[in-house]
């Protein structure tokens, strides 16, 4: 099993569908697991310019008079900007102080990355030669995750102003008029002096004619913030900037924006992730909600296809330009894959929330036929007879190479019993029953409001689901009663608490006493780390703080619990969890990553990274809105 490259010390700038990744010291060196790396010390991370699902430029090594600058600071700024400030210590001055500073500014926009360099010196005069050594390898994202990097290839054309690479429909063009030298290099010569810096610039243009996603035409809404201040204000500002960089659209609907799930691994449309991001952001951006709904409706299932897990009315899981192959996980997923049990009810929940908010009546009306098809899938999936878990939404991969778990905790070991045994399917997840209940009740009201039939059938479905859930999912241990994470294929409840129960809050599935039991368990030391909610109880045999889904803390997961606590009328409990997330964000530059390790606040003075965590991640960035709401901010 290959360990994914570590990202936690790297610096990135994102303007979907383009990404820049620098190493911990602000270099785009290409070292770290590529063909040019040697020895374990150089492995475990990657750098590059990426577009869509491909790393195109893998190296841009900078030399000043033959010397590599020593980075001093790396700063992120709004608008896709990274600034790397360094010193060229090998050029002596008139004293022991460093005499040469190099400021590199990377600016990422969709399809283009600009790199400007400003060399300043305390010397009266300095002859300067700045050289940048380039390399392109066109490595797919799936291969990067396995640390399998392609050998760099040479440009197919070059002149004194432009270098061009091509790999199928993917192209990379580097433009630096008058500065292109032999051997895939950029070279500038000039003079700098005290008060007279030497400045140069080049630009990379990246394109993929075969990609399914493109930059969103509709810009992110401008937000002027007067309050809050301090750490919460920084978190919120950073989150809004990150989310602006994650806005994508499809070639099919270029005017319907959605949030890419996360950089770098999930830089595309994900049903569940994009829907949750849009739900959390609805108070700020109704256009993103409408765009997400419209895009997913355009790919709504129309047939039965076990390979793609497609069913009529079903909302997709993920969209890519080609098959995704991850050998280490035994996965082979088609470009349009529907292997998710929760995206369809979540789609209905978001549509109902958009309709209730009255922010885009035209979009809601246009999507009612899709809602009717989604409802038919919901009713059929939640009422399928003949299985031990009849009456609940459940899943099971039928191919052997799809996702074995199809809720948000979708790694193979995510569903465990207290003793560490893995649950076998078909599996019925607790949170999905909450989504289904809310989808049925809210869609019934939506249909009534728009004069559509079907409301009573949905209410009947919801009532039966609630009764069945109360009878089958609640279990007891020495800490009291709690809803199990899931029922396995034998109908047995998983007998260890997990964070899934937090998603039930606010759905209407629980009564007030049940919601209080869930809140108390979430805030207990068993599940609350001080920074957020553990994915699984610390008392579980399979608990490991660095497990992706069995011990870590996910930002969005905790935020959904916060959102639910607010909806249940428990602001004090919501604030405790929100303050935990805010404290965690301080460990990550006032930002919330996809997830972090389940090391408690008592064990460490700051939140500990999960090395391969995406950042930014759409639903994690959107979690900042919920944190702010729990701390009294109104949008």
| CB neighbour burial string for 462-488, b if at least 16 within 10 angstroms, e if fewer | beebbebbeebbebeeeeeebbbbbbb
Give the CA-trace dihedral at 383, 386, 388, 394, to 10 degrees: -40
Higher local confidence (pLDDT), 433 or 229: 433
Q: Is it true that the peptide bond before 426 is cis, omega within 30 degrees of 0?
A: yes
d(CA 566, CA 549): 25
At 386 the pLDDT is 65
Lookup: tokens for 553: 């803390």
pLDDT class of 606 with cuts at 50, 70, 90: very high
Provide the pairing of β-strand 553-554 with 595-596: antiparallel
* pLDDT of 35: 39
* 502-515 pLDDT, tens digit each: 999 999 999 999 99
Q: What is the pLDDT of residue 2?
A: 60
- From 394, 511, 379, select the one nearest 443 (Cα to Cα): 379
Peptide bond into 534 cis (omega under 30): no
Strand partners, 528: 533
Closest to 350 in 3D by CA, of 419, 307, 296: 296
The pair phi, psi for residue 531, each rounded to 5°, is -110, -20
Tell whether the model's pLDDT for residue 246 goes beyond 60. yes
* Average pLDDT score over residue span 383-407: 89
Query: Sorting pLDDT into bands at 50, 70 and 90, what band is 31?
Result: low
Q: 536: helix, coil or strand?
A: strand
pLDDT given for residue 389 in this prediction: 86
What is the sign of the dihedral through the CA atoms of 432, 433, 434 and 440? positive
Residues in Cβ contact with 634 at an 8 Å cutoff, skipping those fewer than 6 apart: none
Residues forming a β-bridge with 12: 21
- Residue 12: its H or E element: strand 11-15
* pLDDT exceeds cutoff 90 at 353: yes
Q: For residue 41, what pLDDT is reported? A: 34
Greatest Cα pair distance, the chain, in angstroms, is 86
Contacts of 558 (CB under 8 A, 6+ apart): 499, 502, 532, 533, 577, 580, 581, 623
> Confidence band (pLDDT; 50, 70, 90) for 40?
very low
Element (H, E) at 507: none
Is pLDDT at 39 greater than 60 in this prediction? no
Torsion angles phi and psi, residue 463, rounded to 5? -65, -45
136 with 35: CB under 8 angstroms? no
- Give the ranges where 299-429 is alpha helix by DSSP (H): 343-357, 361-366, 368-382
pLDDT of residue 226: 56
pLDDT digits (tens, 9 = 90+) for 465-491: 999 999 999 999 999 999 999 999 999
What pTM did the predictor assign? 0.95
Interval 232-258 mean pLDDT: 96
pLDDT score for 572: 98
Q: How far is CA 228 from CA 284, 496, 521, 577, 628, in A?
A: 15, 38, 30, 18, 8
> How far does the chain reach from its first CA to its final CA, in angstroms?
45
pLDDT at 568 over 60: yes
Percent of the chain with pLDDT over 70: 96
Among 89-98, 103-112, 552-561, 602-611, whose mean pLDDT is lowest? 89-98
Can you tell me the mean pLDDT for 112-138?
A: 97
Task: Record the tokens describing residue 250, joined without a space.
Answer: 């499809």
d(CA 367, CA 363) in angstroms, rounded, equals 6
Query: Which token pair is 252?
Result: 């099919």
3-state per-residue secondary structure call for 87-129: ECCCCCCCCCCCCEEEEEEEEEECCEEEEEEEEEECCCCEEEE
* Higher pLDDT pick, 39 / 183: 183
Higher pLDDT, 227 or 253: 253
Q: How many CB atoms lie within 10 A of CB 77?
A: 12
| pLDDT attached to residue 382 | 82
- Give residue-wise pLDDT tens across range 56-70: 999 999 999 999 999
Cα angle: 379, vertex 385, 391; to 5 degrees: 55
**Burial letters for 136-160: b for 16+ Cβ neighbours within 10 Å, e otherwise?**
bbbbbbbbbbbbebbebeebeebee
8 A C-beta contact, residue 235 and residue 591: yes
Residue with tokens 């990657």: 46
Q: What is the pLDDT of residues 155-175, one digit of tens each?
A: 999 998 999 999 999 999 999
Res. 33: pLDDT tops 80: no
Q: Token pair for residue 482?
A: 């709690």
Q: Could you give all domains of the chain from N- to C-terminal order, each with its CATH number?
A: 11-208 (2.70.98.40), 213-630 (1.50.10.10)
Structure confidence by residue, pLDDT tens digits, 287-300: 999 999 999 999 99
pLDDT at 37 exceeding the cut of 70? no
H/E run at residue 130: strand 126-140
Burial 80-104 (b: 16+ CB within 10 A, else e): bbbbbbbbbeebeeeeeebbbbbbb
The H or E element containing residue 429 is: strand 428-429
Whether 558 and 580 have beta carbons less than 8 Å apart is answered as yes
Task: In whole angstroms, give the CA distance from residue 60 to residue 300.
Answer: 42
- Please give the angle made by the CA atoms of 438, 441 and 442, to the nearest 5 degrees: 80
Q: What pLDDT was estimated at residue 38? A: 34
Structure tokens at 7: 């990202």
The torsion of the CA quartet 621, 622, 626, 628, rounded to 10 degrees, works out to 60
Task: Extract the tokens encoding 236.
Answer: 């919120």
Q: By C-alpha distance, which of 107, 109, 115, 110 is closest to 174?
A: 115
Segment 546-556 shows an average pLDDT of: 98
Q: Which residues contact 25 (CB under 8 A, 6 or more apart)?
A: 71, 74
Give the alpha-carbon dihedral of 571, 573, 574, 577, to 10 degrees: 160
Taking only the tens place, the pLDDT of each residue in 270-329 is 999 999 999 999 999 999 999 999 999 999 999 999 999 999 999 999 999 889 888 878
pLDDT of residue 218: 84
Which SS3 state, helix, strand or coil, does residue 439 take?
helix
Taking 50 as the threshold, does the pLDDT of residue 36 lie above it? no
Q: Which helix (H) or strand (E) holds 436?
A: helix 430-449
pLDDT for position 147: 83
* Whole-number average pLDDT of the chain: 94
């Amino acid at each position: 099993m290959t360990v994914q490259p570590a990202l936690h010390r790297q610096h990135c700038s994102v303007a979907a569908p383009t990404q820049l990744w620098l190493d911990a010291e602000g270099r785009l060196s290409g070292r770290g697991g590529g063909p040019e790396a040697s020895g374990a010390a150089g492995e475990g991370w990657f750098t590059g310019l990426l577009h869509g699902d491909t790393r195109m430029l893998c190296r841009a090594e900078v030399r000043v008079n033959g010397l590599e600058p020593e980075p001093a600071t790396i700063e992120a700024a709004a608008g896709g900007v990274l600034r790397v400030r360094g010193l060229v210590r090998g050029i002596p001055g008139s004293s022991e102080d460093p005499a040469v500073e190099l400021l590199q500014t990377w600016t990422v926009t969709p399809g283009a990355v600009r790199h400007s360099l400003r060399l300043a010196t305390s010397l009266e005069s300095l002859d300067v030669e700045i050289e940048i050594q380039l390399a392109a390898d066109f490595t797919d994202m799936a291969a990067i995750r396995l640390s399998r990097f392609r050998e760099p290839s040479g440009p197919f054309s070059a002149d004194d102003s432009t270098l061009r690479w091509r790999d199928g429909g993917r192209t990379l063009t580097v433009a630096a008029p008058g500065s292109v030298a032999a051997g895939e290099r950029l070279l500038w010569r000039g003079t700098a002096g005290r008060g007279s810096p030497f400045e140069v610039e080049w630009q990379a243009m990246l394109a993929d004619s075969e990609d399914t996603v493109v930059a969103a035409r509709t810009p992110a809404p401008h937000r002027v913030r007067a309050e809050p201040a301090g750490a919460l204000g920084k978190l919120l500002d950073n989150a809004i900037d990150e989310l602006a960089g994650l806005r994508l659209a499809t070639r099919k609907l270029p005017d319907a924006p959605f949030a890419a799930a996360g950089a770098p691994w999930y830089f595309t449309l994900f049903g569940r992730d994009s829907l949750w991001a849009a739900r959390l952001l609805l108070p700020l951006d109704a256009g993103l909600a409408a765009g997400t709904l419209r895009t997913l409706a355009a790919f709504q299932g129309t047939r039965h296809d076990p390979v793609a897990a497609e069913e009529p009315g079903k909302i997709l899981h993920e969209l890519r330009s080609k098959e995704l192959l991850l050998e280490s996980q035994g996965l082979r997923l088609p470009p349009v894959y529907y292997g998710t049990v929760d995206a369809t009810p979540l789609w209905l929940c978001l549509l109902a929330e958009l309709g209730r908010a009255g922010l885009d009546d035209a979009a809601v009306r246009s999507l009612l036929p899709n809602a009717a098809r989604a409802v038919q899938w919901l009713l059929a999936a939640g009422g399928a007879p003949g299985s031990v878990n009849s009456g609940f939404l459940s899943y099971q991969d039928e191919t052997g190479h799809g996702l074995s778990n199809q809720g948000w905790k979708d790694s193979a070991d995510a569903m465990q019993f207290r003793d560490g045994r893995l649950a076998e399917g078909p599996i019925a997840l607790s949170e999905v029953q909450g989504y289904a209940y809310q989808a049925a009740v809210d869609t019934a009201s939506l249909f009534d409001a728009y004069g559509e039939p079907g409301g009573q059938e949905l209410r009947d479905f919801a009532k039966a689901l609630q009764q069945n859930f109360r009878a089958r999912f609640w279990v007891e241990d020495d800490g009291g009663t709690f809803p199990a994470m899931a029922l396995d294929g034998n109908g047995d409840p998983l007998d260890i608490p997990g964070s899934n129960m937090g998603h039930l809050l606010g759905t209407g599935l629980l009564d007030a006493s049940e919601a209080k039991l869930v809140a108390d368990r979430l805030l207990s030391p068993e599940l609350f780390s001080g920074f957020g909610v553990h994915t699984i109880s610390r008392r579980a045999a399979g608990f490991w703080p660095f497990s992706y889904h069995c011990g870590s803390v996910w930002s969005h997961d905790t935020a959904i619990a916060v959102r639910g606590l607010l909806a249940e009328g428990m602001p004090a409990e919501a604030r405790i969890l929100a303050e935990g997330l805010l404290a965690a964000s301080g460990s990550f530059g006032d930002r919330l990553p996809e997830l972090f390790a389940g090391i408690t606040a008592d064990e460490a003075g700051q939140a500990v990274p999960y090395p391969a965590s995406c950042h930014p991640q759409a639903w994690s960035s959107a979690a900042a809105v919920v944190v702010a709401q729990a701390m009294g901010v109104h949008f």
